[in-house]
Chain A
């Protein structure tokens, strides 16, 4: 037993301290100090995470228990952290990318007032804290605390500019959608508690306890967990909050989309992989939902004109990929894609933020163009990010996407066809975004053109770091067909997924098939991106309304309108009914009736108090007589 891991409590504790200092001292601290504290605590957490990662790598894996969190007769839940391969990898992603986003924010949010600036950093720190709790917890309850925490923080940050009504609505939408998913998660935890009586990962996944569950139990639990994941990780039907979450400051979008929040669902399913492997029905549901989400979001992204909206839908689409990976049993592929996606999506969002910053808040790509010559660093890093997400070798996205697509092909070629079509669309809309923003000639106002400039070093430093990661990040898990023993991540994570692979063996494709699949997806994506560059680099502003399918896509398949029509409007009708009928005539009538009857009754009884002494005496005598009669006869 090596006790060096005892210090892991510092990893979430430091961001919490940062949150408290920045939150409580927001009126006193200067911006420079706030930025220093906010970023510093995350950097410290990151360094500890690196240390923990190497400890885990050398085989020091344990559950670190701190105190009894809930302790009753039949239920014992410890406040404990599980330090193993999966959580240490997520720790690195969260704190590493989180740190870069903090650094970026010090510059991006510099125009805010001092106390808002501190509030922003306090929320960011709390966000990181919640996410760390989520991935470190050694049982579902600790995970749930973090799970709710990120929901709360996303609400706070999406609605950060709360004086704008639309932004508050977006924040509420995110919160409510998440709550719907949370309910599923909670029910799954209750189900586990009812059947097994424990929620510790180590106990739940032990063979003895799993044997207590019938196949129906497992399917039910995993489906409910998946409902939780759809809320947090923005899958059909609960995905609409994520594009609206663009209302928050751009670094927040990067944080939500890359390092925290949306990866929670993937993490939770990867953590519970044994249960999911034992529920083939749930797995096929996950695969189908994942594919449907990937395609739907990709088609929507084709026609969006807001630079952040395109990226948001691409996140939803990429999350769909991750769920396909989980659904077909390629758990490593999914986690790998989480990691590479975190790199390039953070890069793309921060790059978009840099562009928006230079454009003075403009987000409409139709008013951009030709930024290449003004912002060389942003342009180059953004291009690398686009290549990575489009799946061009040898960038990060290629390896992770290939692994998921390969596993999907092994399961069912139809999955692969849908997946690869989505990949082509991804390449197309990303390079449409790239071409409209950076190529061609500038289409904005004269004032904006004058204002264009490269962003300061606090913004370019994270971009460069992330660009390097987006290029090399994929090399840690090179498929066997390219390099023997290249799949380092697969080997590193194998203890976590060993149970699942023992049940359902991982299907390997023949090398020739694998090469063919890769060639098709790469060539297709290349064709799509060249077509996009060719088409949109000479983009001119047109005022013609979109028609037909284009209009449907531009309006996001009218999903928001559909939800509005089938859920929000009927709900409002029911509320109006309760308000007008039940509330007004029922409850109000009852309450007012009580008041009125007391009023009327006392007005009648008041007449007894006539002030005539004779009446009082008479009543007294009658009373005494009644008492006598009772005394005598009863």
Chain B
């Protein structure tokens, strides 16, 4: 499968994410959209890694699957981040009884 398709898919996912962040006010949906953008980039990384794998296998085998491993790291870090983020949202809900980000325009009080 040509790399072109992966790129288009990644762009579509990313744009959905961006539009979601911009238009929605629900903190959880925004959070999901952020994850979507993150994962579209992951997808792109994996796809490019696969594409380059052929030539790197000849010239520099140790670099051949670096991006694949990279993506695992990103997923782990993202999982940790999601935990923290969700915890914040839970605390937010407890305090304000809402997850609408537009209520959060004040840092004071």
Contacts and interface: CB of A to CB of B under 8 A. Distances in A.
Interface of A: 610-614, 617-618, 621
B101 interface: yes
Please tell me the size bucket of the interface on B.
Answer: 10 to 19
Interface in B70-109: 101-102, 104-107
Nearest to B27: A613
Interface of A is mostly: helix
18 contacts: A610-B105, A611-B105, A611-B106, A611-B107, A612-B102, A612-B105, A613-B101, A613-B104, A613-B105, A614-B22, A614-B25, A614-B101, A614-B102, A617-B21, A617-B22, A618-B22, A621-B18, A621-B22
Interface of B: 18, 21-22, 25, 101-102, 104-107
A610 B107 CA distance: 12
Contacts of A611: 105-107
Contacts of A610: 105
B62 to A, nearest CB: 31
Given A614-B22, A621-B22, 16 more contacts: A610-B105, A611-B105, A611-B106, A611-B107, A612-B102, A612-B105, A613-B101, A613-B104, A613-B105, A614-B25, A614-B101, A614-B102, A617-B21, A617-B22, A618-B22, A621-B18
A618 B21 CA distance: 9
Nearest to A614: B22
Contacts of B101: 613-614
Nearest to A611: B105
A609 to B, nearest CB: 10
Nearest to B106: A611
Contacts of B107: 611
Q: Which of B21, B25, B104, B107 has the most CB of A within 10 A?
A: B21
Contacts of A612: 102, 105
A621 B17 CA distance: 12
A612 B105 CA distance: 5
A613 B102 CA distance: 7
A617 B30 CA distance: 11
A612 B107 CA distance: 11
Nearest to A612: B105
B41 to A, nearest CB: 13
Contacts of B105: 610-613
Looking at A610, A611, A613, the one whose CB has the most chain B CB atoms below 10 A away is: A613
A617 B21 CA distance: 8
Nearest to A610: B105
Nearest to B18: A621
Nearest to B101: A613
A627 to B, nearest CB: 14
